[in-house]
Structure formats: C-alpha cells, structure tokens
Structure 1
Amino acid sequence: MSSPHQTLLNRILTENLKNVLKSIESTCLRCHRDPSEVKLIAVTKYAPLEAVRELNRIGLRTYGENRPQQLVERAQTLTEDSEWSPAEWHLIGQLQRNKVRLVLPHVALIHSIDSVQLLSQIDRIAEETGASASVLLQVNTSGEESKSGFPPELLLEQWERVCSFNNVQLCGLMTMAPLTEETKTVRSTFSELQKIQTDLNSTGRHPPLTELSMGMSRDYEIAIEEGATIIRLGSILFEGTAEL
C-alpha cells in the first residue's frame, strides 16, 4: 500500500512526464517528425533514489548519470529491487580512462567520448571482457573552452583512426549548447552537430551514425527541431520532488 508521500511523489512525476511527452509530441508535429524518433533519457544526477524508483514504476525505462561511480551504485542497487523494472543506463558525463572497466558492464550507451585515447581504452577493455561498448562521440560545437569534446576539425582529421576500433560500436554524436538565452546561438550549436553527422557519414568509412544526443531541460525543443534523436532531461522531470 502506498504511503501519502509516495502517492504525492507519483502524482508530481506523472504530471511532469505527461507534460514533457506532450511537449515532445507537439514539437515533433511542428517540425514534421515522428515522436517515436526521439528517445527521452531521465537525468538522475540530482534526483533522490526514491524519485528514480517512482519514475520507473510510472513507466520510464532509460536513465542517464553524469558520474560513473554513482551510475554503477544506482544500477546495482535498483537492479536488486524486486519492484524495479529492467532499464537502460547511459553515462552522459565525462569518463576517465581508469573508470572504463568499472562502468562498461552497466551502461547501454556512453555519450561522452572526447578523445581517441579514451576510445582506444574502451576498445581494449571491451575486447578483454567481452562487454558491449556502444558510444557517442562528444563534439564541442559551441567552441566554448569550458566544454569537453572533440573540436569539429580534429574529429574530421582523426576520423579514420576513430573508425579503426573493432570492439566499439559508434552510434552517433553528442553535444551541449551554451547556457544562454540567445536562441540563435543554441540552434547553431545543434545544427552544426547535424552537419558534422552528415559530413562523417558521407565518408563511407563507417556504418552510418544514426544518433544525435542533444538538448536538455532548457533547450530540448530546439534540439528536436534540429534533429535530436536523444534528449537528456533532468530538472524538468523531477521538478517539485526535492521539496517533498
């Protein structure tokens, strides 16, 4: 039997998720896309564990964590929960090479590959352990020094080397827009990623990159308009739960 607290948490999360899904659908219709093309990841970095559990009960099955250690701890803890429905975990934050072995068995997709050296480490450990290694290449399309990711020109230069690893599945690209109210700047950051996707796919060096991970709570509608196939939402999904 649910407690009053759990009932209220469920009500808040259900309403938040309903509003987000409605927004995704209306944005897709506006730009002539199928809403099923856009995958929603709940970013759980600041969310309490009980809120993540409740969102899983409601039906969301894909979660993203910024920190490798927390991803592993949460994935292990929740998998042992008898009420937890199987779900995907995505690493969306930076990954240090010494954390690859820790995180690889627990992730469906790593969004933040920002160097050939990191890709090489993942390839080696995937070969050693037989673990699946699906990744996105993070590209710094905003040009901000504070952002991680391949500079676009460097990724193009290193593309042949990037494509040479046999134990890594390159699924697509990821970027982050600047924290700004300038819609034009945000849009250009996302449209540039789609252009890079087209340029890399045109080389024929690798199976097509199909995924574009871009857009967070403040800018996901623009990202969808510019071709996002994965959006990473945290605050907008968990809004109102911290006060409970």
Structure 2
Amino acid sequence: MSSVAEHLAIIHTKIAAACMRSGRRETSVELMAVSKTFPPTVIQEAVDAGQTLFGENRVQEVLGKIPQLPSHLRWHLIGPLQSNKVRKILPHVEAIHSVGTLSIANDIQRIADELGIRPTVYLEINLADESTKHGFAVKDLPAQTEELFSLDRLEIQGLMCIPPFDPDPEKSRRYFTQLRQVRDQLEAGANRSLPGLSMGMSHDYHVAIEEGATIVRVGSAIFGGR
C-alpha cells in the first residue's frame, strides 16, 4: 500500500469516528483530496486507493491535469476565480467553492446561461472579516442574498469558509459553528435549502465534521507537505 493510500485509510477512520461522536452517518460527509501543486502521478496514487473527488486552486493547473487522469474523476475549484477564467473552467468542474462576490456570481450566471448549464456553487464566507481573505462578509449578506438567490442558473449548494489558521484545531470550532448558523439563518430567511457546508482542512477536519461539515478539504494529510 502506498503512503497516499495509507493516509487515506487513516483519514477515513477519523472521519468515521467524528461522525460517530456527532451522531451522523459516515456517508453524510465527503472527502475532497486537495491536490493543488501535486503532479498527476501522485494524484493517481489516490485514485488507485479509491479517491474520486479532487480540489484544485488554480484554473490553469486543473485544466492541465484533467486530460492526464481518468475521466471518471470529479473536480472542484476551491481557489478564487477571476472573471476572465469563468468560461474556461465552467464546463470542466463539478462545483466551485469560492463564489465570494456578487460580481463573480453574476459572471457565472451569464456564462452558464450562454452554455446552457447549471453549475453547483458554494458561497465563500469571510467569517473573520480578514482583509487578506476572499468572500462575503457576514454583515453584508442580508443585502445581497436576494440578488444571489435570483441567479437561476446557479445551483447554490451551501457555504464555504477558511478560518484563520491556528495549530490548535479547537480554535477553528467557533468559525465552523458560525458558518452553520449563518447557513441556517439564510435558509430560514430565503425559505430554501442550503445543505452543503464546505469546511475543515487537514488539521481540523474532525472538528468541522462535529460542527456539521458535509465536505472536508484535505491536502497535506493525504499527500504530505508541499
């Protein structure tokens, strides 16, 4: 068994344990392998171990990798998306986790309409209001949700966040809790379902699961350091 396969087995065991602690079914959480910067040969090791969902940060990088790997794989874009890259990426990824402005949401709406597709997206929320981070500020959401939810080409699956990094995973918990609460408030206010919570990375995914994550984005714990 390769080291990547061993790492995946360990992570699935930890996911199962976190689900058990929080009274959830293991199937309610999906593992995304964040493969940014890793070559197709390394990604193939994860594929050989049964992993099918991969996350990438950069449009050019994922477009270069897709033709070199099996066609059944599912690709999600998790990094910021520039308006001039929307047309290039939309036909090739299953979901975009980084819709953090009305402008990019409208760009996706317009191009999806031209292409006749309905892309799945997650709204990225900047919970800590960090100037260096991408995403909607919580305080601005009430004024923006009506327009966001009027974009009929977008399948808004849920919310995504990246908490400020802290080596203590427990320090992330309050952000994960807050994202769930923001989601619940949006659901109630808009009277629509937003089942997805994309949160948790290599050092804190178990905490994210305890707080309701439906998809965890794990990179270094699978592939090693970059």
Query: Scaled by the length of structure 1, what TM-score is found?
Result: 0.89
Residue 87 (structure 1) aligns with: 73
Structure 2 CA distance for aligned equivalents of residues 202 and 220 of structure 1: 26
**Cα offset, 1:53, TM superposition:** 1.2
Superposed counterparts of 1:210-225, under 5 Å: 210-225=195-210
Q: Deviations over 1:221-244 (max 9, x none)?
A: 11111110000000000128x7xx
Residue 45 (structure 2) aligns with: 54
Residue 81 (structure 1) aligns with: none
Structure 1 CA distance for aligned equivalents of residues 82 and 71 of structure 2: 29
Confirm whether residue 229 of structure 1 aligns to residue 214 of structure 2: yes
CA contact (8 A) 1:170 1:209 kept: yes
Structure 2 CA distance for aligned equivalents of residues 122 and 77 of structure 1: 26
CA contact (8 A) 1:174 1:214 kept: yes
Structure 2 CA distance for aligned equivalents of residues 112 and 87 of structure 1: 20
CA contact (8 A) 1:16 1:239 kept: no
**Cα offset, 1:69, TM superposition:** 1.0
Distance of aligned partners of 1:67 and 1:187 in 2 relative to their CA distance in 1, 3 Å threshold:
same
Superposed counterparts of 1:97-116, under 5 Å: 97-116=83-102
Tell me the secondary structure at the aligned position of residue 121 of structure 1: helix
Q: Deviations over 1:81-108 (max 9, x none)?
A: xxx2501100000000110000000110
| Higher CA-based Rg | 1
Amino acid paired to 1:126: A
CA contact (8 A) 1:64 1:90 kept: yes
Confirm whether residue 17 of structure 1 aligns to residue 8 of structure 2: yes
Tell me the secondary structure at the aligned position of residue 158 of structure 1: helix
Tell me the secondary structure at the aligned position of residue 40 of structure 1: strand
CA contact (8 A) 2:177 2:211 kept: yes
Amino acid paired to 1:235: S
| Sequence identity (%) | 38
**Segments of 4+ in structure 1 off by > 2 A?**
181-185
Structure 2 CA distance for aligned equivalents of residues 142 and 184 of structure 1: 16
Structure 1 portions without partners, runs of 5+: 1-9, 79-83
Query: Scaled by the length of structure 2, what TM-score is found?
Result: 0.95
Confirm whether residue 39 of structure 1 aligns to residue 30 of structure 2: yes
Q: CA RMSD in A?
A: 1.5
Confirm whether residue 64 of structure 1 aligns to residue 50 of structure 2: no
**Cα offset, 1:185, TM superposition:** 3.5
Tell me the secondary structure at the aligned position of residue 31 of structure 2: strand
Confirm whether residue 179 of structure 1 aligns to residue 170 of structure 2: no
Structure 2 portions without partners, runs of 5+: none
Decide which of 66, 77, 96 is 1:75's aligned counterpart: 66
Amino acid paired to 1:228: A
Confirm whether residue 200 of structure 1 aligns to residue 186 of structure 2: yes
